[in-house]
């Protein structure tokens, strides 16, 4: 279950900046960075009937932005599941998205570069706060806005790019996803092709996990290019590829038992049921859990199971 309140406010930033880990598992198969496995190639070689919806954009609308010299909010796309903000300061900045007892805290660029942030709590009342560092770990509010949000539908936040799932229509990972989707007949086959591609093309980077710096953000194209990454990278790549093809996908952070491993994974929504792998069948009209880190490192079946060993804390 999701944890709320003060604990979420205190923990959010620290937890999201940590590296994740995977248990010792057998070495993955030889890396193939430029092509997917034979099964993926077979799917993409045929012409399928799946048609992806138009690419779902997100971004900062300068003309619609409101606020003062220090911070400006673009609230014009709240129904599409995101808020965008731009701020300038000589100090570190944080951005908070608050709804009810839930608080999501993010790093915010202080040079005016806009950020796009998901409305993870769905429809409802929100407060947005730009916070400026005043001393060590203390921050003071310099701008805020409140709105009541009515989403077009519950999937909107999970169909678009944001600061934790960064991609564009021109991203290499999006082009690869479109290539894989072109050989699919339905959304399950798209998921299966993306699943197999990432599992065969990306290996876990233990050195990066041990040295990842505070404030790290993923680059899905770099993950695909280098063929390695940590759990954050796996989850961001999977979310980018699936979202770009019209499949709602959450990027989730939380804990996996029995070792209370802090970790990132995905959940995707399908209108159909079907097999993604020989041991992984999706449920119809429901969110389905997918852990690319474990899948790529040979321990998918052992750790996903029925999902009861996963504790979802934050989703983006």
The C-alpha atoms of residue 12 and residue 163 are separated, in whole angstroms, by 15
Query: What's the average model confidence in pLDDT over 187-213?
Result: 95
Residues contacting 74, CB < 8 A, separation 6+: 60, 61, 62, 64, 65, 66, 83, 84, 85, 86, 114
Pairwise pLDDT comparison (46 vs 87), residue with the higher score:
87
Distinct helix (H) and strand (E) counts, the chain: 9, 16
The C-alpha atoms of residue 185 and residue 292 are separated, in whole angstroms, by 22
pTM beyond 0.85: yes
The C-alpha atoms of residue 309 and residue 302 are separated, in whole angstroms, by 11
Whether residue 15 is predicted with pLDDT greater than 90 in this model: the reply is no
Residues contacting 238, CB < 8 A, separation 6+: 194, 195, 198, 249, 266, 290, 292
CB of 98 closer than 8 Å to CB of 128: yes
Q: Name the residue among 297, 249, 315 with its Cα closest to residue 104.
A: 315
pLDDT digits (tens, 9 = 90+) for 201-237: 999 999 999 999 888 999 999 999 999 999 999 999 9
Pairwise pLDDT comparison (34 vs 123), residue with the higher score:
123
Half-sphere exposure at residue 61, Cβ-oriented, CA atoms within 13 angstroms: 13
Q: pLDDT grade, residue 307 (50/70/90)? A: confident
pLDDT digits (tens, 9 = 90+) for 236-268: 999 999 999 999 999 999 999 878 889 999 999
Whether residue 270 is predicted with pLDDT greater than 90 in this model: the reply is yes
> For the chain, which domains are there?
6-54+161-315 (3.10.620), 62-158 (2.60.40.10)
Residue 127: predicted pLDDT? 98
Task: Give whole-number Cα distances, 192 to 57, 220, 290, 291, in Å.
Answer: 24, 18, 11, 13
pLDDT digits (tens, 9 = 90+) for 281-300: 899 999 999 999 988 887 65
Q: Name the residue among 177, 156, 154, 183 with its Cα closest to residue 240.
A: 177
Which of 9-18, 70-79, 124-133, 255-264 is predicted with the least confidence, judged by mean pLDDT? 9-18
């Amino acid at each position: 279950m999701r944890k709320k309140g003060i604990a979420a406010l205190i923990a959010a930033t620290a937890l999201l900046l940590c590296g994740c880990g995977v248990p010792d598992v057998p070495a993955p198969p030889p890396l193939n960075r430029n092509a997917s496995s034979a099964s993926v190639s077979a799917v993409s070689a045929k012409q399928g009937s799946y048609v992806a919806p138009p690419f779902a954009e997100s971004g900062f609308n300068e003309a619609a932005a409101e606020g003062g010299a220090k911070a400006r909010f673009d609230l014009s796309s709240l129904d599409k599941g995101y808020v965008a903000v731009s701020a300038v300061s000589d100090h570190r900045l944080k951005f908070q998205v608050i709804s009810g007892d839930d608080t999501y805290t993010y790093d915010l660029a202080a040079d005016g570069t806009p950020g796009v942030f998901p409305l993870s709590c769905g429809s409802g009342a929100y407060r947005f706060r730009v916070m400026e560092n005043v001393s060590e770990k203390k921050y003071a509010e310099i701008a805020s806005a409140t709105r009541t949000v009515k989403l077009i539908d519950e999937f909107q936040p999970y169909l678009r790019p944001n600061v934790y799932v960064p991609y564009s229509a021109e991203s290499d990972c999006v082009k690869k996803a479109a290539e894989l989707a072109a050989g699919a007949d339905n959304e399950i086959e798209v998921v299966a092709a993306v699943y197999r591609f990432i599992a065969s093309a990306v290996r876990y980077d233990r050195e990066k996990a041990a040295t990842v710096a505070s404030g790290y953000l993923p680059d899905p194209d770099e993950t695909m290019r280098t063929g390695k990454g940590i759990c954050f990278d796996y989850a961001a790549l999977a979310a980018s590829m699936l979202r770009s093809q019209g499949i709602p996908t959450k990027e989730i952070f939380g804990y996996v038992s029995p070792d209370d491993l802090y970790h990132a994974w995905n959940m995707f929504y399908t209108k159909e049921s079907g097999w993604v792998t020989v041991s992984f069948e999706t449920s119809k009209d429901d969110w389905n859990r997918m852990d690319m880190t474990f899948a790529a490192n040979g321990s998918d079946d052992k750790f996903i199971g029925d999902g009861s060993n996963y504790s979802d804390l934050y989703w983006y």
